[in-house]
Amino acid sequence: MHASLVRRQLGGLVPPKIATPKSVSGGSGDGLGPLVNFYSKLPKGAATARVSGLKGRFFSGSNASGAPLLALIVGIFGLGYTIDYNMHLKHYKNHAH
């Protein structure tokens, strides 16, 4: 079977409710108290984004700059020019221009 066919067939399934208050604690909901207490202590709101690595060092925050991108472009150009020049020399090594 194709993946899209399987995805379409399984897309309508809804998972059953496994941990309802009635099935966990016999209907009173008292057994969920520690769980509710734990989740109520968690921080609310948007999480702070921590960016690390090259992106955090050069492109984010107060040190943001496009210099690394420019250096990459110049480096690729220099490498390509060097390879092209050496291939040119190999091609015309034993032949007059």
**Residue 13 placed within a domain:** no
Number of C-beta neighbours around residue 41 at 10 A: 7
Taking only the tens place, the pLDDT of each residue in 14-45 is 555 555 656 555 656 566 777 778 888 888 88
Residues 6+ apart with CB under 8 A from 35: none
**Residue 8 placed within a domain:** no
Q: Let me know: does 31 contact 25? Beta carbons within 8 Å.
A: yes
Taking only the tens place, the pLDDT of each residue in 38-79 is 888 888 888 777 777 878 888 887 778 888 889 999 999 999
**Residue 37 placed within a domain:** no
Q: Is the pLDDT of residue 5 over 80?
A: no
Closest CA to 25 of 38, 37, 13, 34: 34
> How many separate domains does the chain show?
1
What per-residue confidence (pLDDT) applies to 82?
Answer: 94
